[in-house]
A and B are shown apart, each in its own frame.
Chain A
Amino acid sequence: MSKMNSTYGEPKDNYTAKLRLKSTILFIWFIILTIICLLPIYILVVNATRENSDIANTISFIPGSNLGKNINKLFHDVNYNTVFDVLIGYRNSFIITAFCTVFTVFFSAMTAYGIHVYEFKLKEISYTVILLVMMVPMQVTSAGFVAFMLKLGLTDTYWPLILPSIAAPAVVYFMRSYMKSSFPLEIVEAARIDGCNEFRTFVSIAIPMMGPAIAVQAIFAFIASWNNFYTPNMILISSRFNQKTLPMMASAIQSSDKFTDYGAIYLALALSILPIVIVYVALSKFIIAGVALGGVKE
């Protein structure tokens, strides 16, 4: 470094000091942002452990000792467990989400594979169509969608929530780009020579090779489907309690006038975000990398 300095002239004396100052200021700014990001969630957790009257009176950053009573109230009081039953919510959301995730990933990989590997007349056109439809928002089609489902008698069932996940244009686009860079067609040829049929080539060779792309897209499909409130709220018209998904349960807290104990409300909300936070903490590295790949839309 010193050699360079003598060759290229003296550097500004305070360069290092300035950098350090800037780093420190930015560090403090990042800490502030971290607090803003976490504070609502922290207060949520703290209030879930406090008593109704305490929450109403004053704010506290130290957890209380009322968690057991709140749990008891939420699960056993009729006014509460007929509005919000976290286990039913988990179950329903999980059923829908699991099917959606598997369908999205499997059929998107299949579509991308079909377009990537085979030569056929409509190949380019079909890919262009997929790119075009990527941008059409759900809210635009929803009126026609619900009307059509009403006609078919499929409202109040899970079919309209699960089946559409087979056609996920953004995921197909992502998988196709991934295949372009890391799926050589020679492998398909080799499999054919060894007598492997086309479908088996896809299932036992292509899918394992696309592992990383499938993992990233599975995570995002899972999160998107788990958090979806709009479509279930539209399709499950008669909103039978046993059918409600977790976001619908959470929204029911807001519209119920019997659900008045603050501790129970906060506890219910905390339980409603718990699974997704656990998933996030466990997979955050993949998720951040996935977002950076541009693998997420919405």
Chain B
Amino acid sequence: MSQRKKRSRGLGQLLIPLVAMGLLLIFNLFRDPGFFSIGIATNNSGNAVLTGNLISIIDSASELAVISMGMTLVTAACGGQDISVGAVGAISGAVFAKVLLGFGSITGATVVLGFILSVLATILFKLFNGTLVAVFRIQPMIATLILYSCGRSIAYWINGDATPQLNSPILSAMGMTIPGIPIPTPIFAVIIVGALMALIFRLTTTRLYIQSVGINQGAARLNGINPVAMKLLSFALLGVCVAVAAVIGVSRLGQLNHKTLLVDIEMDAILAVAIGGNNLGGGRFRLSGSILGAYIIQMLTTTLYAMSVAPVNVKTYKAIVIIIIVVAGSPVVKAKLTALLNRLCYAGLPSSAHKGVN
């Protein structure tokens, strides 16, 4: 029985998001089988690219998927969410653009340099948040409210009023497709970041440490784990994710707009974490759940667009679906459903049998 419990706990967290995604896919299958068609088209620069709704979902959810991975770590370690990722992402984009514009020419070397500097700057800003949270013990949401309200202004200050255009084949290869490879490049970025995270958590004890800090900070400290260091680490990793997402966002558009880059992504990222079945109060986490959550959100948006819902009305339907998903995942509803299921399966047996199953 204990084995069965263990197995169900492993899948349990992913059950709701998997079912949600499956329902969305089935819904699309009945609505319009053409939704799943994947074709090859030639884009403006003459490259063969894969087209189709599925590709566009996976492609355009890249920034969200990357950020929600980092958000999961911060949530797990600190028991709170970072609401400044969009604003700090604008800063990383601004640093990236500043470096490229400063050199005047966009070559492979300057792009790499710009990326590295952007990552460093973002980590710096995230460590500011992290210090407030870890050392000063301020609620994450409040601590990140500071950069939420002034982050985009800092991005504006770095680059001036303009929305600089960054046209270069290198950037379009990073943001759209590399010539010769029909798969959009941002997908590779998600895979690389995900693989690196998986490596970190497989090869080191970081996962255990972060979880134990999130579950009980005092107990973790008594066991020799430094809670401050773990929280700072989670914020630094989130910083890397934000910088990657910002660079994808800038190169996708070929320009930097500090007002619209990664706008409102913090809310979607927190939603992705929650839909993925992670506890927003910290503790155990699954990155795969959050990534799945990010793709569900994007699939929902794309499905609504494909049903020709006006873009301004998408939010309403999104809200309704989110409420349904979180209600289905709520512990109270889950317990009720399990009880109902047990009663159906063991209808004729005396009550001791129910207890044996539970």
Q: Indicate whether A and B interact.
A: no
Interface of B toward A, CB cutoff 8 Å? none
Interface of A toward B, CB cutoff 8 Å? none
